[in-house]
Structure 1
């Protein structure tokens, strides 16, 4: 393993590319431990800080993860989150169609909290209005895949226990429908890319400079009133969003005034 001193590419980037190629070729498999920083430093003839920068680059890309006291390991395959699938509000709707098999959800808090700006706008209330908040972490195996939160109006779920750590027996939406006597009929997803908060980085076990995908999901009842606003945050480099939908058939031209349920691109 050598560094090419004749190129303008920094040594740390060259080392990162060597390791990246080994991961993509399968020479390094998910779960494999990378050589230690001292050993790579000796092999490449560079300072340990140079190898550390290479590791940092691979972590930001989501290719590796560091376990304190154990080393740096190749991360598993990219997660496919069907959170955008229309089928999530079917008979088995949820974060994933096979969530009980593949995912494990841990509720970390429940209670009343002042709502932030984006949630307040969705509900049409003032920033800081007290709302019921349920926070969770979703795990794929032993790796955190999502940090999420569900916001509800206290008057909608009073006496339901949804403001406590008692988990509903089924999907949350069913518990909300039972508590309110209203049905979820329409929802919208708003997705942004940003840097994580300190809490998100800690819960997702990622570096603070690793970009994340943030979802704001707004669910409405048959009258158009908001029933629930939920948030989800995923590590950007390790997540693939999948949206499946039917393609209209036949000779009819679509009415441009109709909402096709697709994406609108908004430049912030």
Structure 2
């Protein structure tokens, strides 16, 4: 293991590049523990801080994971999620069986809460207006991969099943349609990257400086009035969002 001190690239980036290549070649398998930072520093002939910067870079990229008091490990395969809201509704307005097979959704909280800014903006109400919220956690077999919430106006949800802490034997949007008498006909999805909140980092078991992907989903009825505003947050380095769609053929002139 060597670095080129005369290269334009910083030493920690050279080290990160070499470790990344070793992981891709399979020199270290998913879940395998890397040598300690002092040992890697000795092998490269650099300071421990230089290796720590390389490890931090690879951790943010999702290549490595650090476990406090245990060490640095190669992260397992990236979780490829098809959880944009088109997948949530399913191809034929039914439960998306592929998602149900891979993910377990747990309802964590139901009640009334002040609307956060992005939710208030979507509904066109003032920040802090009380809404009904249903919070959830999605897990795979080995980890939490999503924290989320669905928000409804009190006028639509107060005193209904949407305000009770119970799971439904069908998708939430179908329950909301029956309760409100309004049909979901269109929606918009906005995905952004940001730093996690303290609670998000704790639940998703990521470091506070690990970026997350955040989805804001706004669902509309036939009059283009908002029925539901949903949020979902995923650990960025471990998540790939995919959408499959057809490209229309050129029109004949």
Q: TM-score scaled to structure 1, two decimals?
A: 0.84
Deviation at 1:247, TM superposition (A): 2.8
Whole-angstrom CA distance in 2 between matches of 1:249 and 1:9: 45
How far apart, in 2, do the equivalents of 1:252 and 1:227 lie? 39
| Alignment map for 1:111-260 (pairs within 5 Å) | 111-249=111-249, 251-252=251-252
- What secondary structure sits across from 2:83 in the alignment? helix
Alpha carbon RMSD of aligned pairs, Å? Answer: 2.3
- Partner of 1:133, secondary structure, is strand
Distance 1:252 1:117 in 2: 47
Q: Is the contact between residue 85 and residue 244 of structure 1 (CA under 8 Å) also seen in structure 2?
A: no
Say which is worse superposed, 97-106 or 110-119, in terms of deviation: 97-106
User: What is the CA-CA distance between 1:162 and the residue it aligns to?
Assistant: 2.9
Q: Find the aligned partners of 1:142 and 1:224 in 2 and give their Cα distance.
A: 40
Unmatched 5+ stretches in structure 1 = 254-268
Partner residue in 2 for 1:7: 7
Contact preservation (8 Å) 1:85, 1:242: no
TM-score of the aligned structures, taking structure 2 as reference length: 0.88
CA distance in 2 between counterparts of 1:92 and 1:157 reads 21
Taking the aligned partners of 2:31 and 2:93, their CA distance within structure 1 comes to 32
- Say if 1:193 and 1:213, in contact at 8 Å, map to a contact too: yes
Q: Give the Cα–Cα distance (whole angstroms) in 1 for the partners of residues 250 and 6 of structure 2.
A: 60
What is the count of residue pairs matched by the alignment? 252
Change (3 A) 1:100 1:50: same
Call closer, same or farther: CA 1:197–1:4 in 2, change over 3 Å. same
Q: Could you tell me how far apart the structure 2 residues matched to 1:132 and 1:171 are?
A: 17
**Partner deviation per Cα, 1:25-78 (whole Å, 9 max, x = no partner):** 222222222222232123223332222222111111111112223322222222
Structure-1 residue corresponding to 2:100:
100
Range with bigger deviation, 23-32 or 156-165: 156-165
Distance 1:229 1:166 in 2: 19
Runs (5+) with no aligned partner, structure 2: none
